[in-house]
Amino acid sequence: MMTFSNGLYEGAHKQNYLERSFLKCYMCLMARPREFDTDSALDGAIAVFREHGFEGTSAQMLVDAMGIGRQSLYAAFGDKWQLYCSAARRYGMGECAVHFDALRSGARAIDGIYAMLRRVVETADQPCLGVSSIYEFGASRPDLKEINALLARSLRGAIAARVRDAQREGDVATGLDPEAIAEFLIANFAGIRVAGRGGTDRATLTSLADMALRALR
């Protein structure tokens, strides 16, 4: 019977272990998808969807803007609709965060409310994915409707809370409902953005914001 010495056996065992380890690592590397910055890629998709909408955006436009291949796009984000919903969610969360910062600025609550309105005026010439998603789909897509509803609820709550602060400080009429004011201001945001995209000049947009603010007195 052929036998291995301890040295030969240990050497063969070690070689087999190394071969298996190498093969395992190789297979993992081959199966691993291309790595990329998901947030950066999503921001690229947001830019395209903002400008062209869902229907006006092609897969090639997306991969060019995101800097990734189609396989990586579908592996990371699913199909085009899932990517659109992810883009709408990320864009909306970013917009809400900027609105929250504006609301907290200023010595008085009314200053924060006006800062928020002024920021909408200053960016009104830029496409808004939140507004365009509603214009394009309305309430016809439940998943998108839920995303927009959650974002609107968050913004509405923050505005209403700041309105209550302004009422306590004597800058907003106490007879007005803070929740209704929040809805009123959000509707004004959409109107100002649409007017801005339509070419309305800055002075006119500012006057619209001023009138919205005067309605709170």
Provide the pLDDT for residue 176. Answer: 97
Provide the pLDDT for residue 50. Answer: 97
Task: Of 145, 125, 133, give the one whose Cα is nearest residue 49.
Answer: 133
Provide the pLDDT for residue 81. Answer: 97
Per run of 10 residues, the mean pLDDT along the chain (length 217 residues) is: 47 49 45 69 97 96 94 92 97 97 95 97 96 96 96 97 98 97 97 96 97 95
Q: Which amino acid is at 75?
A: A
If you classify domain 87-214 with CATH, what class do you get?
A: mainly alpha
- Residue ranges covered by each domain of the chain: 87-214
Is residue 45 within 8 Å of 61, Cβ to Cβ? no
Q: How far apart are CA 31 and CA 144, in angstroms?
A: 33
pTM, full prediction? 0.81
Rounded alpha-carbon distances, angstroms, from residue 45 to 85, 152, 193: 11, 22, 21
Alpha carbon 51 to its chain's center = 15
Provide the pLDDT for residue 54. Answer: 97
Provide the pLDDT for residue 106. Answer: 87
Provide the pLDDT for residue 29. Answer: 40
